[in-house]
Amino acid sequence: MLRFLVGFFLIISVIHTEQVFANTFVFTAIPDEDESKLRSRFDKVATYLTNQLAIEVKYIPVKSYGAAVTAFRNNQVQLAWFGGLSGVRARALVSGSTAIAQGVEDPNFQTYFIAHSSTGLKKSSNFPIIIAGKTFTFGSKGSTSGRLMPEFYIRKHFSKSPNKVFSRVGFSGNHSRTISLVQSGAFQIGATNFQVWKKDLAAGKIDTSKVSVIWETPSYPDYNWTIRGDVDKNFGSGLIERVKTALLNLKDPDLLASFPRKGFIPASNADFRPIVTVGKQIGLIE
């Protein structure tokens, strides 16, 4: 038995020793929707970038928005697919870092307020004041479309914090979960990312007899690819530009579905100033 175990573990160790790639370019993405298969989805993007950039590119999965920002700040990832708020936070922490690309949809992003059918609420173009006193779920605590913008509109219309407006406030963790929690009736109202709503609707995951959109926020800028400023110095000059080009040239619908976006367009730090203003206003950014 002893010998068997020794042999077994030696084999394991040989197979599983993590290879340390010198100078691997690493990226991550905020876990904003279905987390399973996150790795298989983004590994394809890593392969695409490896081919385009002719350097080793690796993806690492993270469990939260905060972890994505921390990894970027600590230079464990050099490139990240952030939300509006996490991108602003990350760029504030890493001087010299820039937003280089965003989704075609991102300059005009929206949050959908959704409600369970038992509330009897119907879609309206005015902010639904009637949701006061009901139960409400945000998405992740660090999300732009699932937290920052809905909280902004709630505070704007009620002049009170969400805790005081609703009988119960939850944080589902991500957008798909917000939809399923409202659909199951665990929460009466929720706020979710409109892209994820459309994607899940198309995929047949949403039962519209149980959950429906009751209000759409005005548009705001959201997701973006942000890269560290020291990448040129550490990985060879011109890499930032090449990463940007590779992202803008990404046309494979299979890869784009991971985000989900129709394509990528250029972005700059200045595009996200509205997010900074709103973040400061509701106290999520200091």
Q: Is 93 in the site for other proteins (CB under 8 A)?
A: yes
Q: Is 170 in the site for other proteins (CB under 8 A)?
A: yes
Q: Is 13 in the site for other proteins (CB under 8 A)?
A: yes
Which residue type is seen at 167?
S
Please name every residue paired with 114 in a beta bridge, in sequence order, or none if there are none: 190, 213
Q: Are 195 and 260 spatial neighbours (Cβ–Cβ below 8 Å)?
A: yes
> Which has the closest alpha carbon to 230: 78, 77, 86?
78
- Give the binding range for other proteins (CB under 8 A) out of 133-141, 219-227, 246-254, 263-271: 133-141
- Give the binding range for other proteins (CB under 8 A) out of 181-189, 215-223, 245-253, 260-268: 181-189
Q: Is 2 in the site for other proteins (CB under 8 A)?
A: yes
Round to whole Å and give the CA distance between 163 and 213.
22
Residue 159, φ and ψ in degrees, nearest 5: 55, 30
Q: Is 6 in the site for other proteins (CB under 8 A)?
A: yes
Round to whole Å and give the CA distance between 265 and 225.
10
**Contact with other proteins (CB under 8 A): which of 53, 55, 67, 213?**
67
> Which has the closest alpha carbon to 87: 269, 274, 219?
269
Nearer to other proteins, 65 or 264 (CB): 65
Q: Are 62 and 71 spatial neighbours (Cβ–Cβ below 8 Å)?
A: yes
Q: Give the footprint of other proteins on this chain (CB under 8 A).
A: 1-2, 5-6, 9-10, 12-13, 16-21, 24, 26, 34-37, 39-40, 60-67, 69-71, 74-76, 89, 93, 116, 118, 135, 140-142, 168, 170-171, 173, 176-177, 180, 184-187, 284, 286
